[in-house]
Amino acid sequence: MDNRTIIEGRIGDIGQTRVTPAGLPITRIRLEHHSTQRDAGLDRRVSLSLTVVCSGEALHRQLTGLAPGAAVRVGGFLAQAGYRHGSELELYAKRIEHMGGDLPNVS
């Protein structure tokens, strides 16, 4: 089964980086997304806030220099946040691309 997600948004918050016992750095960021999507022939406003889990040295380097408000495109897969968070989903990042200034309006 396939599980791939790509989403653009702005970084809302960058959490503290922790290091696992195996030496793997993990940072959680909050991604804020606002767009207009076409659904059944009608425009639909979409707004959401999503936790993005960034694991490993390569993603940690991609986060360097990014600050709240930075526009990014994140690709990865969705997974349940954990037993304490019920059905909340997190996006486990495989890549993060800095988009520069403004994000395009997605329709």
Q: Where are the domains of the chain?
A: 5-100
User: Checking phi first, is residue 13 left (phi over 0); if not, alpha (psi -120 to 50) or beta?
Assistant: beta
Is the pLDDT confidence value at 106 over 60?
no
- Write down the number of H helices and E strands in the chain: 1, 6
CATH topology assigned to domain 5-100: OB fold (Dihydrolipoamide Acetyltransferase, E2P) (2.40.50)
* Cβ neighbours for 18, distance < 8 A, ≥ 6 positions apart: 25, 26, 27
Write down the pTM of the prediction: 0.86
Sorting pLDDT into bands at 50, 70 and 90, what band is 101? low
Q: What is the pLDDT of residue 107?
A: 38
